[in-house]
């Protein structure tokens, strides 16, 4: 008797839904706490705390509903054979359009087009509510309805342009790969990731936001001086108009080797003092100096290779395909099914990566501290927490499982602890 792969996948999905809902309930209770954590008393203003509490509770209630609908739909799609039905209908559509339904690439693209339309339709109510009700209610949303839909249209256009060549390449590699399939797939994805990391900030991101050079002045001089002192190869320093969509703030860097760029959200500059912005950049440069970005990239490459290695072991398993309702073994469907069967491992890997990420954040904070930015980083982190209305009270189980960044209380405690060590 064949192993019931599909039933096992659905069972684990439901099990994880209950486990994560339990964690969500613990965090929801933390959001309800009427007082600040003791370390934040006198640090965070009461008005900001009450606003943060209301924002967090709103997002939490929305999350419960979204996750409930998602698990119902995902389970139904697998249990009622909607995936193979959709594959069959996409082939029939090609036949009606006068195209060759036996061509796996055309069939796959037809299937993906249907999936994209379906996902846009099912996600739209949640996106609209999140953006124009929750984010707007708490003063974050700056998008117009036109800009919201224009972003969706641009996203679909990019998918239509970029998607088919990538899908075609993967199908050809799987069909021709032979015993070295995992290596070829990994090599293709490695090159693709480098290309996308190069093209995204220069060609794709500007389609959605306006990037302008940071004007001359104290902030620019301070950042350039800091970068120079660390021999960081800063080539360009941009401001992005994040305020056209949201009041949330951020900063990031990108680029290879001697061609690095730093991007500041205009909201970050508006919300923080010059020295606080520089302290945030010092933290980001800490990630670079300590090779965190490289370590993370290498870890992703190893995991990708192992994942493709696992895929090659099961891609010809007729029992696996039949369990999900398929009589044929299309490449894309094989990849989708494999992704579903390794969900337990993905959860464990995600948890492990979060542990590493939190460790990296503490190290980057300590790096900025050693550069003399302890007080500025501290005040900057507090200000960003206030301005973004981030959760002040966090459940330890929830944060351990979900957070890639340590809660503010833990980051401030680490900065203060290092201060005491030096006194």
Show which residues are catalytic: 284, 365
Q: Could you give the dihedral angle defined by the CA atoms of residues 85, 89, 91 and 95, in that order, rounded to the nearest 10 degrees? A: 150
Burial 8-34 (b: 16+ CB within 10 A, else e): ebbeebeeebeebbebbebbbebbeee
How far is residue 64 from each of residues 61, 138, 169, 261, measured CA to CA in Å?
Answer: 5, 19, 39, 38
- Provide the edge-to-edge strand list for the sheet that holds 211-213: 211-213, 234-240, 260-265, 251-254
Integer Cα distance of 300 and 181 in angstroms: 18
Q: Could you give the dihedral angle defined by the CA atoms of residues 55, 60, 66 and 69, in that order, rounded to the nearest 10 degrees? A: -150
Q: Which 3 state secondary structure label does DSSP give 51? A: helix
47 annotated among ligand-binding-site residues: no
Integer Cα distance of 271 and 250 in angstroms: 11
Q: Beta partners for 260? A: 234
Those residues with Cβ within 8 angstroms of residue 96's Cβ, 6 or more apart along the chain or in another chain: none
By the 8 A CB rule, do 266 and 242 touch?
Answer: yes
138 annotated among ligand-binding-site residues: no
Q: Which 3 state secondary structure label does DSSP give 342? A: coil
361 annotated among ligand-binding-site residues: yes
The encoded tokens of residue 2 equal 């064949």
Q: Which long-range contacts (CB under 8 A, 24 or more apart) does 335-341 make?
A: 335/170, 335/311, 336/83, 337/5, 338/310, 338/311, 338/314, 340/9, 340/78, 341/5, 341/9, 341/314
Q: Which residues are annotated as a binding site for Zn(2+)?
A: 283, 287, 361
Annotated binding site: 283, 287, 361
């Amino acid at each position: 008797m064949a192993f019931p792969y599909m039933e096992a996948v659905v069972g684990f999905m439901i099990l994880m839904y209950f486990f994560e809902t339990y964690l969500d309930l613990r965090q929801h209770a933390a959001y309800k706490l009427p007082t600040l954590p003791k370390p934040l008393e006198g640090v965070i203003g009461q008005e900001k705390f009450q606003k943060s509490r209301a924002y967090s509770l709103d997002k939490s209630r929305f999350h419960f509903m979204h996750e409930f609908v998602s698990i119902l739909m995902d389970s139904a799609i697998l249990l009622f054979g909607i995936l193979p039905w959709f594959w069959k209908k996409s082939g029939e559509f090609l036949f009606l359009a006068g195209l060759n339904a036996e061509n796996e690439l055309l069939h796959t693209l037809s299937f993906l087009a249907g999936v994209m339309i379906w996902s846009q339709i099912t996600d739209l109510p949640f996106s609209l509510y999140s953006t124009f009700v929750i984010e707007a209610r708490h003063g974050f949303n700056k998008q117009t309805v036109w800009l919201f839909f224009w972003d969706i249209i641009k996203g679909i256009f990019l998918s239509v342009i970029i998607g088919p060549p990538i899908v075609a390449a993967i199908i050809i590699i799987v069909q021709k790969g032979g015993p070295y399939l995992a290596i070829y797939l990994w090599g293709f994805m490695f090159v693709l990731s480098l290309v996308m990391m190069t093209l995204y900030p220069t060609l794709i991101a500007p389609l959605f936001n306006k990037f302008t050079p940071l004007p001359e002045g104290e902030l620019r001089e301070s950042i350039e001086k800091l970068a120079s002192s660390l021999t960081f190869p800063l080539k360009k320093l941009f401001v992005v108009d994040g305020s056209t969509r949201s009041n949330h703030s951020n900063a990031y860097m990108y680029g290879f080797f001697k061609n690095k760029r730093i991007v500041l959200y205009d909201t970050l500059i508006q919300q923080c003092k010059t020295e606080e912005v520089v302290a945030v950049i010092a933290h980001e440069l800490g990630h670079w100096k300590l090779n965190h970005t490289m370590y993370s990239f290498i870890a992703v490459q190893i995991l990708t290779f192992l994942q493709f290695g696992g895929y090659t072991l099961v891609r010809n398993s007729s029992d696996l395909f039949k369990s999900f309702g398929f009589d044929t073994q299309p490449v894309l469907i094989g990849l989708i099914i494999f992704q579903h069967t390794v969900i337990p491992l993905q959860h464990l890997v995600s948890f492990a990566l979060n542990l590493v990420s939190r460790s990296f954040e503490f190290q980057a904070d300590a790096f900025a501290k050693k550069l003399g930015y302890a007080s500025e980083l501290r005040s900057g982190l507090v200000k960003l927490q206030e301005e973004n209305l981030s959760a002040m009270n966090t459940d330890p189980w929830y944060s351990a499982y979900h957070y890639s960044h340590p809660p503010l209380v833990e980051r401030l405690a680490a900065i203060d602890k290092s201060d005491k060590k030096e006194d």
